[in-house]
Amino acid sequence: MDKNQIIAKTIDFVKETLKDAEGGHDWFHIERVWKNAKLIAKNEDVDLFIVELGALLHDIADAKFYNGDETIGPKKASIFLKNLNVEPKIIAHVANIIQFISYKASLDTTAIKFNSKELEVVQDADRLDAIGAIGIARAFNYGGFKNRALYNPEIKPIKHLDKNTYKKSDAPTINHFYEKLLLLKDKMNTKTGKKLAISRHRFMETYLSQFYNEWEGNQ
């Protein structure tokens, strides 16, 4: 089986697995991240096959939908790729991308770290989908899924969250902008990722300004 066939089978697997997923973490999210990753990879010295597999499988079993279990995603992806006879070293690399891609993973200062150019590309691609117009839509979609308030002026954002506090947070969705989304622009790894993040970041700032004006009845 060649690489194109493996990618095609991976797409089918992800579509089937995520057919009932929450709207911010469904196949269309995966597809956008995959496209972003391929765009970024054009300007990076990376193994495109690993980048594509990492992007396609990065949310195959997001821990937030599995009672916080961060082992399921890497295991599920590894079993799938093993069944396609993908090389063990590629499987290990993809599993590490899945394990270390998330924002909350970056907040864990005690964990063993993994890094690669392929991870950096997929991570940037995923973070781009968390900001801008689509990032705003995804944030409120997930907030609604969890029955969270849109905004509560009495509940202030928490700066410098650690991993456990971040995972347990049930704060209003607007707080998520300050606790994660507005921080992502400065956490991009690649030149392309940094460039693409600028306009999306500005859009979020404009949105928040409009949100507060409407909230206060100023517009």
Domain boundaries in the chain? 3-215
Contact 11, 56 (CB under 8 A): yes
**Percent of the chain whose predicted confidence (pLDDT) is above 70:** 93
What is the band of 64 on the pLDDT scale with cuts at 50, 70, 90? confident
Contact 99, 114 (CB under 8 A): yes
CA 105 to the chain's CA centroid: 11
Contact 118, 89 (CB under 8 A): no
Mean predicted confidence (pLDDT) in 154-177:
82
Is residue 94 scored above 70 in pLDDT?
Answer: yes
Tally of CB atoms within 10 A around 183: 16
Is residue 164 scored above 80 in pLDDT?
Answer: no
Q: What are 21's two structure tokens?
A: 């997923």
Is residue 166 scored above 70 in pLDDT?
Answer: no
* CA–CA separation, 163 and 104 (whole Å): 5
Tell me how many helices (H) and strands (E) the chain has. Answer: 11, 0
What is the band of 125 on the pLDDT scale with cuts at 50, 70, 90? very high
- Taking alpha carbons only, the member of 147, 155, 157, 137 closest to residue 204 is 137
At CA 67, angle to CA 81 and CA 91, rounded to 5? 15
What is the band of 68 on the pLDDT scale with cuts at 50, 70, 90? confident
Fold (topology level) of 3-215? Hypothetical protein af1432 (1.10.3210)
User: Over the chain, what is the mean pLDDT?
Assistant: 93
Mean predicted confidence (pLDDT) in 167-189:
92
User: pTM (2 decimals)?
Assistant: 0.92
